[in-house]
Structure 1
Amino acid sequence: MNIKKEVSIKKISNDAENLFRGGFFCSEALLSSIRSNFELDIPEEIIGMASGFPIGIGRSKCLCGAVAGGVMALGLFFGRTKQGDCKVEKTLELSKELHDWFKEANGKNALCCRILTKEFDMASGAHKEQCIRYTGMVAGKVAEIIVRELNLVNTDSLLTV
């Protein structure tokens, strides 16, 4: 897979947030941002694969859709396509890293949408800004992992003061 060698993690995070604001849900926005910023030569249908994950997998309020989309994105880069391929171990390790990081970073020690949004009236959309923020956070962390693991360049670190 051809990928862009230099990316801005901040831009990936901001793009994911803006895509959510523009009409995508969390998992879709995350995958779309990763796909476009890394200039992945994969079809847009990959975004459609994420359409069932929002609001805790099909509105069941289980696993946070941003995290589900993040794990899908990690699978794009590090996942296996053949049985017996030991690449799966690296994918599992990186997915756990994302899981553990988000559980701590969100300040609620949870990955369950039901817990993350319990203080909000979901029908009114009061949760949306928090979910947009979480989507940006997760997109940024996924990009950070990809950049680190593939020895790519984060152009944010090239900016001088």
Structure 2
Amino acid sequence: MLERRHKRRKNMESIVTYHATKVSPQEVQRKAEEQYAGGYFCCEAVMSVIRDAFQADVPESVIAMSSGMSIGAGRSGCMCGALNGGILALGMFFGRTTPDGPKDPKVNALMALSKELHDWFRDSNAKHAACCRVLTRGFDMAGGEHKKQCIAFTGLCAGKVAEILCRELGVENVDSEPIKGLEAPYLPPVKEVV
């Protein structure tokens, strides 16, 4: 089963034109972290670096469509915004534009990639969660430790999406090592009891 999941899928033809022939997922990871640190939210950073790295012929406004998905979808604390961005980025390449029902192989192939990303992220963030509320529990949302964690999660998702896209599009992945998950979770600062 695992081997089958990693083979290039028959129905994974990109709906957008892209020009990249080689991509470094590790560089995508680094750039996503920089963009989050530089002012984008998690979801926006993922969309921006994936669009740029794969040289996708899509307007810059695709980044704007992801803005509301950050911080667990509009600050609701639901699914992690970086993961939301990753799923949106996969859909940018492999989504559908026709209502062909739930048995449409194209949408089912995309959902399999989305689940692959979700499960990998959940297993790789050292907290075994995908819910923003769970991932950020105990953090001061304006504090530095929270931002460090979210920068790392943004990079993880962007790098993994780049790996998936390289595999599915046949773009050369120039890295010798895969994107690695976190070895230990980020923990909120201990509050002093007075």
Equivalent of 1:65, from 81, 84, 106?
81
Q: Give the greater-gyration-radius structure (CA).
A: 2
Q: Which amino acid aligns with 2:45?
A: A
- Greater alpha carbon shift after TM alignment, 79-88 vs 26-35: 79-88
2:69 counterpart of 1:43: no
**RMSD (CA atoms):** 1.1
1:26 equivalent in structure 2? 42
Identity %, equivalent residues: 54
- Greater alpha carbon shift after TM alignment, 53-62 vs 120-129: 120-129
1:94 equivalent in structure 2? 113
Tell me, which stretches of 5 or more residues in structure 2 are unaligned?
A: 1-15, 177-194
Q: Which amino acid aligns with 2:174?
A: T
Partner Cα distance (1:38, 1:152) in 2: 9
2:160 equivalent in structure 1? 141
Partner Cα distance (2:53, 2:39) in 1: 18
- Greater alpha carbon shift after TM alignment, 128-137 vs 114-123: 114-123
TM-score (normalised: structure 2):
0.78
1:52 equivalent in structure 2? 68
Partner Cα distance (2:153, 2:143) in 1: 19
2:182 equivalent in structure 1? none
Equivalent of 1:105, from 99, 112, 124?
124
Moved over 3 A (4+): none
Partner Cα distance (1:156, 1:111) in 2: 26
Question: Alpha-carbon deviations, 1:98-143, whole Å to 9, x = none?
Answer: 1111111111111111110113111334300100000000101101
DSSP 3-state at the match of 1:70:
helix
2:25 counterpart of 1:2: no
Task: Tell me the CA shift for residue 28 of structure 1.
Answer: 0.1
What is the aligned length? Answer: 157
Equivalent of 1:78, from 70, 73, 94?
94
Tell me, which stretches of 5 or more residues in structure 1 are unaligned?
A: none
